[in-house]
Amino acid sequence: MSTPPKKPAYPGRPALDEANMRFRRGLSRLHREAGRHDPALMPKLTAIVQRATEQLLALAVEAEQAEDSSARHRAGLKKEEDKVRAVLRRGVRRGDARAVSMLERLNERARLRTVDDGPDGDDVA
């Protein structure tokens, strides 16, 4: 039995790993220095960590939004919305007021999503 081949890394992965390793090493050395010899460095360390955390969270949100805009995700979302829409239509035919309201909201969200999408499917907002 053989091990499956590794997938190629995404573009820039080695450089990102190197920068991350260098950053974490630098933080460790600064923390050690602040703890052992110079407590006045601790506020600087805290500020660096806070700024890095904010930037990484912002980049994570950006990456997640890009992933959510993939064709596969959009197709899956449409499929699930179609299922919900079919259930709600049955409720509307039975006279369920909540189903009417929910179907209107679902249709409005779908309409807004198509208005926000540019001609190539990218969000123009």
Q: What is the 3-state secondary structure (H, E, C) of 49-85?
A: HHHHHHHHHHHHHHHHHHHHCCHHHHHHHHHHHHHHH
CA–CA distance, 39 with 2 (Å, rounded to integer)? 53
Per-residue pLDDT of 24-51, as tens digits, reads: 999 999 999 999 999 999 999 999 999 9
Per-residue pLDDT of 49-65, as tens digits, reads: 999 999 999 999 999 98
CA–CA distance, 53 with 23 (Å, rounded to integer)? 12
pLDDT at residue 124 is higher than 70: no
pLDDT at residue 21 is higher than 50: yes
Per-residue pLDDT of 77-110, as tens digits, reads: 889 999 999 999 999 999 999 999 999 999 998 8
Contact 88, 102 (CB under 8 A): yes
Per-residue pLDDT of 1-14, as tens digits, reads: 677 788 888 899 99
